Amino acid sequence: MGRLIVISNRVSVPSAAGAAGAQGGLAVALNSALRQQGGIWFGWSGQETAEFTGHLDMQRNADVTTATIDLEPQDVEEYYNGYANRTLWPLFHYRIDLTEYDRNFGEGYERVNERFADAVFPLIESEDLVWVHDYHLLPLGSMLRARGIGNRMGLFLHTPWPPTRLLTSLPFHERLVASMLEYDVIGLQTTEWLESFLHYVQKEMGLKVNLDNSIEYNGRRVVARAFPIGIDYAEFQEAACGDVAREACQRLKASVRGRKILIGVDRLDYSKGLGERFESFSRFLADHPEMAGNAVLLQIAPPSRGDVASYQQIREDLERKTGHINGAHADVDFVPIRYVNRGYPRAELAGFYRAAEIGLVTPLRDGMNLVAKEYVAAQDPDDPGVLILSQFAGSALQLKDALLVNPHSVEHVAETIKRALDMPLAERKRRHARLLESVREQDVLHWLEQFVQVLANNERDAGMPPHDQAA
Ligand code: GDG
């Protein structure tokens, strides 16, 4: 099998000293694949430069080679803050009310994708497998093809794929999707988004979709498939059982003095349904005065994309809402919502999950949602907490033994909180055992292997021409 060339907006550079402690499961898994198979992880450094030079900063850390470029402020504004996070992100999360269509964003997006293509092109050797990640880089594959790259190339989209009727509100949507069909493999998180994608290519582009969900396009066959991403189960469980997690767990438990803990952990993003979650908790407190004073919601929400107005707005809304709810339900020695705008090391996070009787994961729309899986992995199997999970998270298709809720229904979520707190130990254990099996078996390594296998599997055997022989 050839080397892997991983391309994503940002690159997570492994540190020689204990990479696993600082990085998320995806970065750890990609790094270990790069270490095993050899290859390069390419992307934006996160740094700005006054004038774009295309200079590649190549580094080798912990046996992984990374290559990064700096971008101009205008690139960051139009490509990253603009088209990626003010156009595609809200649209792909069904929020056309927040979706901004600006010609400059579209131009910046194409320009940066071309810059990525120019910079990574000389790094790609003939047998390499090229694996592009996420909505920032949808047209990159077509730009590499235009530069003569005939390698197997795959795209994995971490977000949902929106319904055709929403997607068609995007100017030049046909061009964007057509550019994606230059990949050999298109991976979506779930069958729901896969069906939505196939619906678009059939209805809007009139393309033929085979029984195995592959798409006939310009005499080639493009494989479209669901690859549900998982967590690094082994790493997370180990963290959950370590000293740092134990101390974090004890610290949190001691601070609530016997009260029940509900935990939410999310990037501060409007797709995560934090406002609705707070309202639901408030309704629960109002409906169950006997429980008010006995349950605390810990919401960890590190800020993200702070340069984008809708993110500033959600932050203000949540601050107001928290103040309002706490004002209504707090007592001299008790505050019901602990709303924390900062991140914690992964091992501490694992301890907080373990301390919580309820994992409250209620996004309005989410490609997968790894927090739900981390919560399950961190539990004590002999006395596990209950996962309350939005039916609109991709992970709900796998985690069927969670208590699934409609996050828009404050009443439903409030009742489900009560049900979770009353759940007998036997039922908690039964549900948790089944959830754990799914989280353990469909972990990030499984996801990675599945994707790379399909990516590496040249379709010649199936009687279709590979890309470089296509008409
Ligand atoms: C996108 C898609 C898809 C959060 N706070 C802290 C912290 N986190 C970590 C969590 C988890 C990760 O961030 C968040 O992952 P999610 O899956 O929940 O959500 P997104 O960031 O929106 O990710 C999503 C994912 O890509 C993967 O494909 O599942 O649907 O939107 O790992 O633990 N980590 C640390 N401290 C924090 O305070 N260390």
Which carries the bigger pLDDT value, residue 471 or residue 74?
74
Spatial contact of 34 and 65, defined as CB atoms under 8 Å apart: yes
User: Residue 265: CB within 6 Å of ligand 1?
Assistant: yes
- Tokens 């209504």 belong to 328
Spatial contact of 307 and 348, defined as CB atoms under 8 Å apart: no
Q: Mean of the pLDDT values across residues 342-355?
A: 95
pLDDT, one tens digit per residue, over 223-246 is 999 999 999 999 899 999 999 999
pLDDT, one tens digit per residue, over 425-462 is 999 999 999 999 999 999 999 999 999 999 998 444 44
Which carries the bigger pLDDT value, residue 409 or residue 21?
409
Which ligand 1 atom is at minimum distance from the Cα of 160? 30
pLDDT at residue 16 is higher than 60: no
Q: Which of 9, 135, 155, 267 to mutate to test the pocket of ligand 1 (most atoms within 8 A of CB)?
A: 267
Q: Mean of the pLDDT values across residues 325-341?
A: 94
Strand 153-156 and strand 185-188: pairing? Answer: parallel
* Predicted confidence band of residue 293 (pLDDT cuts 50, 70, 90): confident
Three-class DSSP labels, the chain: CCCEEEEEEECCCCCCCCHHHHCCHHHHHHHHHHHHHCEEEEEEEEEECCCCCCCCEEEEECCEEEEEEEECHHHHHHHHHHHHHHHHHHHHCCCCCCCCCCHHHHHHHHHHHHHHHHHHHHHCCCCCEEEEECHHHCCHHHHHHHCCCCCCEEEECCCCCCCHHHHCCCCCHHHHHHHHCCCCEEEECCHHHHHHHHHHHHHCCCCCECCCCEEEECCEEEEEEECCCCCCHHHHHHHHHCHHHHHHHHHHHHHHCCCEEEEEECCECHHHCHHHHHHHHHHHHHHCCCCCCCEEEEEECCECCCCCHHHHHHHHHHHHHHHHHHHHHCECCECCEEEECCCCCHHHHHHHHHHCCEEEECCCCECCCHHHHHHHHHCCCCCCCEEEEECCEHHHHCCCCCEEECCCCHHHHHHHHHHHHHCCHHHHHHHHHHHHHHHHHCCHHHHHHHHHHHHHCCHHHHCCCCHHHCC
Work out the percent of the chain whose per-residue pLDDT is above 70. 95
pTM: 0.94
User: Residue 21: CB within 6 Å of ligand 1?
Assistant: no
Domains of the chain: 4-230+445-455 (3.40.50.2000), 233-441 (3.40.50.2000)
Q: Mean of the pLDDT values across residues 211-222?
A: 94
Q: Mean of the pLDDT values across residues 237-264?
A: 96
* Predicted confidence band of residue 116 (pLDDT cuts 50, 70, 90): very high
Residue type, 445: L
Of 206, 238, 243, 211, nearest to 224 (Cα)? 211
Q: Mean of the pLDDT values across residues 244-265?
A: 97
pLDDT at residue 213 is higher than 70: yes
- The predicted pLDDT at position 246 comes to 97
User: Residue 305: CB within 6 Å of ligand 1?
Assistant: no
pLDDT at residue 470 is higher than 70: no
- The predicted pLDDT at position 10 comes to 93
Whole-number Å distance, alpha carbon 160 to ligand 1 midpoint, is 15
CA atoms of 13 and 31, how far apart (whole Å): 9
Q: Which residues pair with 360 in a beta bridge?
A: 388
pLDDT at residue 376 is higher than 90: yes
User: Residue 350: CB within 6 Å of ligand 1?
Assistant: no
User: Residue 357: CB within 6 Å of ligand 1?
Assistant: no
User: Residue 370: CB within 6 Å of ligand 1?
Assistant: yes
- The predicted pLDDT at position 63 comes to 84
Whole-number Å distance, alpha carbon 75 to ligand 1 midpoint, is 25
pLDDT, one tens digit per residue, over 77-94 is 999 999 999 999 999 999
pLDDT at residue 97 is higher than 50: yes
- The predicted pLDDT at position 15 comes to 64
pLDDT at residue 292 is higher than 90: no
Whole-number Å distance, alpha carbon 328 to ligand 1 midpoint, is 31
Q: Which residues pair with 110 in a beta bridge?
A: none
What is the residue-averaged pLDDT of the chain? 93
- The predicted pLDDT at position 380 comes to 95
User: Residue 374: CB within 6 Å of ligand 1?
Assistant: yes
Which ligand 1 atom is at minimum distance from the Cα of 342? 38
Work out the percent of the chain whose per-residue pLDDT is above 90. 86
Burial of 343 (0-12, 13-18, 19+ CB in 10 A): middle
Spatial contact of 204 and 165, defined as CB atoms under 8 Å apart: no
pLDDT at residue 297 is higher than 80: yes
Which ligand 1 atom is at minimum distance from the Cα of 229? 28
Give the residue numbers marked as catalytic. 158, 366
pLDDT, one tens digit per residue, over 144-176 is 999 999 999 999 999 999 999 999 999 999 999
